[in-house]
């Protein structure tokens, strides 16, 4: 069977902020109907990579190709709307372009948020807000969904439901999905391809292959045969998703100055 045509493709993508290299020579592609998950420690460049794919971040080197006419639905990590603004969900969903009431109702229903159209955005729970943001991304009937930590602020049971919902949407619409996740259970079981990023691509491929890669194991402190969610490494469990705590061992970021840990790649890029 021929591989599906890519929706987006980066080749040698490099992003620098000042003299600091945040992404180095990243090759990435997402095809229609495919779920690709980016994992990596805080500051690994995951959101920057999404922003480059979206055309919101200019590359310092390399290329980003998007299929002509591609429609992208984007769910950012944070909602860039003033929290003090009185805003209903219905109004929020129409901020980025005109939408019909029928489309709002249908899309909210699709993400399990029926009945929230008239609610104040400030009154939503974390999980409800994530569903509304997913609805916002879906309203454009995208070929590609780009989701930056879609399950943040969602409780554990809600995370499982949300990832199942994203998979159902992918199946129903045949769209590609590119997402960032800190949830290794999802990354290892609910995704077609896993990309482990730490300033560069440490390893990538089918989850069952990536979990056996020494860089992945060094970054996440797990063994090839067992994934024990209670045994997450200290940098992952204590730092929290938005803290920039102690650096993980192995697969060193291009701007790290410390020597590589036992699982570091030999071909890591030079310091930027």
Ligand X SMILES: Nc1ncnc2c1ncn2[C@@H]1O[C@H](COP(=O)(O)OP(=O)(O)OP(=O)(O)O)[C@@H](O)[C@H]1O
Sole residue written with tokens 């024990």 = 228
- State the minimum distance, in angstroms, from the CB of residue 58 to ligand X: 11
User: Which neighbouring-strand residues pair with 63?
Assistant: 11
Stretch that binds ligand X, among 38-46, 184-192, 219-227, 261-269 (CB under 6 A): 38-46
Binding status of residue 46 toward ligand X by CB under 6 A: yes
Q: Which 3-state string (H, E, C) describes 20-70?
A: EEEEEEEEEEEECCCEEEEECCCCCCHHHHHHHHHCCCCCCEEEEEECCCC
Binding status of residue 269 toward ligand X by CB under 6 A: no
Q: Which of 45, 142, 248, 263 binds ligand X (CB under 6 A)?
A: 45
Q: Which of 42, 94, 161, 185 binds ligand X (CB under 6 A)?
A: 42
Please provide the DSSP assignment of 69-121 as one string: T--EEEE-SS--S-TTS--BHHHHHTTTS---HHHHHHHHHHTT-TT-TTSBG
- State the minimum distance, in angstroms, from the CB of residue 86 to ligand X: 29
User: How many residues touch ligand X (CB under 6 A)?
Assistant: 11
Stretch that binds ligand X, among 1-9, 35-43, 92-100, 215-223 (CB under 6 A): 35-43
Q: Which residues 52-71 are close enough to bind ligand X by CB under 6 A?
A: none
Q: Which residues 155-214 are close enough to bind ligand X by CB under 6 A?
A: none
Q: Which residues 233-252 are close enough to bind ligand X by CB under 6 A?
A: 242
Please provide the DSSP assignment of 161-211 as one string: HHHHHHHHHHHHH--EEEEE-S-HHHHHHS-SEEEEESSSEEEEE-HHHHT
Binding status of residue 10 toward ligand X by CB under 6 A: no
Q: Which of 10, 14, 47, 181 binds ligand X (CB under 6 A)?
A: 47
Angle between helices 156-173 and 126-138 (to 10 degrees): 10
- State the minimum distance, in angstroms, from the CB of residue 188 to ligand X: 18
Note the residues at the interface with ligand X (CB under 6 A).
17, 22, 40, 42-48, 242
């Amino acid at each position: 069977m021929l591989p599906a045509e890519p929706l987006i493709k980066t080749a040698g993508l490099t992003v620098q902020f000042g003299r600091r290299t945040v992404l180095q020579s990243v090759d990435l592609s997402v095809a229609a109907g495919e779920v690709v998950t980016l994992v990596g420690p805080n500051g690994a460049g995951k959101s920057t990579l999404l922003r480059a794919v979206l055309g919101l971040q200019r590359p310092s080197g390399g290329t980003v190709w998007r299929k002509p006419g591609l429609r992208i639905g984007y769910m950012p990590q944070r909602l860039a709307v003033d929290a003090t603004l009185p805003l209903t969900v219905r109004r929020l969903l129409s901020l980025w372009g005109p939408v019909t009431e029928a489309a709002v109702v249908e899309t909210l229903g699709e993400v399990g948020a029926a009945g929230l159209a008239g609610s104040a955005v400030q009154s939503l729970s974390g999980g409800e807000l994530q569903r509304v943001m997913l609805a916002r991304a879906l309203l454009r009937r995208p070929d590609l969904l780009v989701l930056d930590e879609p399950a943040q602020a969602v409780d554990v049971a809600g995370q499982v439901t949300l990832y199942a919902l994203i998979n159902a949407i992918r199946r129903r619409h045949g769209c590609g999905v590119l997402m960032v996740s800190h949830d290794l259970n999802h990354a290892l079981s609910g995704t077609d391809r896993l990309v482990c990023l730490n300033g560069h691509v440490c390893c990538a491929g089918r989850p069952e292959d990536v979990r056996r890669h020494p860089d992945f194991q060094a970054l996440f402190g797990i063994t090839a045969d067992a994934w024990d969610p209670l045994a997450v490494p200290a940098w992952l469990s204590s730092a929290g998703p938005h803290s920039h705590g102690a650096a993980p061992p192995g697969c060193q970021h291009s701007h790290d100055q410390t020597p590589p840990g036992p699982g570091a790649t030999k071909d890591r890029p030079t310091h930027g």
